[in-house]
Amino acid sequence: MKKFLLVFVSACLAAVMFVCGCATDGKDGRDGIDGQNVTIEEIYKKYVDEYGEISYEEFLLKIFSYTNSELDELTGLKSRINKSLMSGVTILSRFGYSVKGGISLLPSYSVYNVYTGSGAILWLDKEAGDAYVVTNCHVVYDDTADSVFCNDVRLYLYGQDESGVNFKVTKSQIRDYSSYDITDDEDYCIKAEVIGASVNYDIALLKVSGSEVLKRSGATVAEFSDGFDVTVGETVYTIGNASGEGMSSSSGIISKDSEFITLTMSSEDEEYLSDDDYISYRVMRITAPINHGNSGGALYNLEGKIIGIVNAKDEEQGVENMGYALPGKSVNMLLGLMYDNYKDNGFEMKSGGGIDKAIIGITTEISDSYSRYNESTATAEIIHQVKVRDVNSNPAKGKLEKGDYLKSAEIISSDGTIKVARFDITRDYYLREAMLSVRKGDKVKLTVERGGQNVDLELVFDSDKYFTHVG
């Protein structure tokens, strides 16, 4: 039976090749039509049409001799990707710009531009039509616009995000400038407001209130993975509005688990920018194809959990499959800070958005760095020995000392519950990013190596002086 099925598959493939043809005119295909890929689903449907009903799983087992575990992974991944589509959103941000009337003494006027991006629903009350959505800060930020953080943010769900069908982006000429508008989206648009944003972390938190579209939708919620670590070679997939063509998925692997890239959030011409306008972001490198419009979309692991937020791609000529995503664990803690600020104070645009982050009061350095292969996890692990270079301020003063090696940490909330379970500080950024979870009254319990001995320390964040504003 297997041999017969393989012959059947080959015949299907040959038929597709015949239909597509070979290029006879120097173009993409015969008559300039691109060749098309046949999918296994199409072959399955053809088989059913000719030979009768058989389940998709049985079909795959017979053709490819999948083991049950391999089949579970394959069909499970398909299910998870499609579920993740239901929590993704296409984002259109409409910015306004005031233009002076000019020498003719005409009155000032406004023009508009529309940018595309992606996001993921993190919390949802469908009955009320309320939701919170994560995206990149640069999707809703333009330092040349009248409102630096966009005040006209529109979200569209999967299946309701096709340009020309569910909305239109129209262009008009207003005197010397082109202006863009979003029209014909009344039945599908979900209005959102920016309630938290950080340029230095490139993350924004959006709020939706009372949306009739959400009330009648099949939207679901995406969840973050709990762990700090991702593994090189780990299979991942993205959900995003690639090239502004609506929500779609792409897959690849983690090709580097941690590196830094330098970007500018400013829309000013490059000649007017200074070094201060460029920001370094810690990211993961991925091979999943990333395009304009993917920004702000979620990166998922095989469990269907968010492990990153896509924010950039390398567009240098000759470079392929080098996309970047902000680490999910730190993003999740950062969103917690933004939500707490909004809940307690309402969103304040102080210093252009940002967060109040707890600081220990030290600078660190990597005194040694090496790798080892872990047989039990089949991974190559990078180990950093993180050393205190200087003690600058409280709460570290009088407790930490120059030359201490940071070994492990635990974060306890003000009510005594464990906020971040004890973790080994085997990478230089672990403690720094865990500090995003600290609020006033919390404790950070540290174990350091001093003079060859382990020393346990406790830092209590009971003063506003132990927090600094990061834009």
Q: Which of 204, 227, 463, 140 is nearest to 337 (CA)?
A: 204
Q: Which of 467, 196, 433, 194 is nearest to 335 (CA)?
A: 196
Which residue has tokens 């010397």?
Answer: 176
Q: Are 70 and 57 in contact (CB under 8 A)?
A: no
Helix (H/G/I), strand (E/B), else coil: 12: helix
Which residue has tokens 């972001």?
Answer: 281
Confidence tier at 44 by pLDDT (50, 70, 90): confident
Kindly report, residue by residue over 284-327, the tens digit of the pLDDT. 999 999 988 999 999 999 999 999 999 998 877 666 778 999 99
Model's pTM, two decimal places? 0.83
Kindly report, residue by residue over 219-246, the tens digit of the pLDDT. 999 999 987 678 999 999 999 999 899 9
- Element housing 71 (H / E): helix 68-85
Per-residue confidence (pLDDT) for residue 62, from 0 to 100: 63
Q: Which of 148, 145, 150, 144 is nearest to 119 (CA)?
A: 150
Strand partners, 278: 264
Mean pLDDT to the nearest integer, 92-118 = 88
Q: Which of 112, 92, 109, 98 is nearest to 180 (CA)?
A: 112
Q: Are 381 and 427 in contact (CB under 8 A)?
A: no
Confidence tier at 342 by pLDDT (50, 70, 90): confident
Distance of CA 56 to the CA centre of its chain: 32
Residue 14 has pLDDT above 70, yes or no: no
What percent of the chain clears pLDDT 90, i.e. is strictly above it? 68
Per-residue confidence (pLDDT) for residue 348, from 0 to 100: 59
In the chain, the N- to C-terminal Cα span, in Å, equals 64
Distance of CA 410 to the CA centre of its chain: 26
Q: Are 221 and 124 in contact (CB under 8 A)?
A: yes
Other CB atoms within 10 Å distance of the CB of residue 297: 36
Whole-Å CA distances, 89 to 104, 195, 326: 44, 17, 18
Confidence tier at 213 by pLDDT (50, 70, 90): very high
Q: Are 89 and 121 in contact (CB under 8 A)?
A: yes
Kindly report, residue by residue over 153-191, the tens digit of the pLDDT. 999 999 999 999 999 999 999 888 999 999 999 999 999
Per-residue confidence (pLDDT) for residue 318, from 0 to 100: 64
Kindly report, residue by residue over 145-162, the tens digit of the pLDDT. 999 999 999 999 999 999
**Mean pLDDT over the full length of the chain:** 86
Per-residue confidence (pLDDT) for residue 7, from 0 to 100: 44
Kindly report, residue by residue over 422-467, the tens digit of the pLDDT. 999 999 999 999 999 999 999 999 999 999 999 999 999 999 999 9
Distance CA 75, CA 78 (A): 5
Confidence tier at 46 by pLDDT (50, 70, 90): confident
Kindly report, residue by residue over 380-423, the tens digit of the pLDDT. 999 999 999 999 999 999 999 999 999 999 999 999 999 999 99
Per-residue confidence (pLDDT) for residue 106, from 0 to 100: 73
Helix (H/G/I), strand (E/B), else coil: 263: strand
Q: Which of 407, 385, 386 is nearest to 457 (CA)?
A: 407
Parallel/antiparallel/unpaired status of strands 153-157 and 168-174 = unpaired
Q: Are 38 and 12 in contact (CB under 8 A)?
A: yes
Residue 253 exposed, middle or buried by CB count within 10 Å (0-12, 13-18, 19+): middle
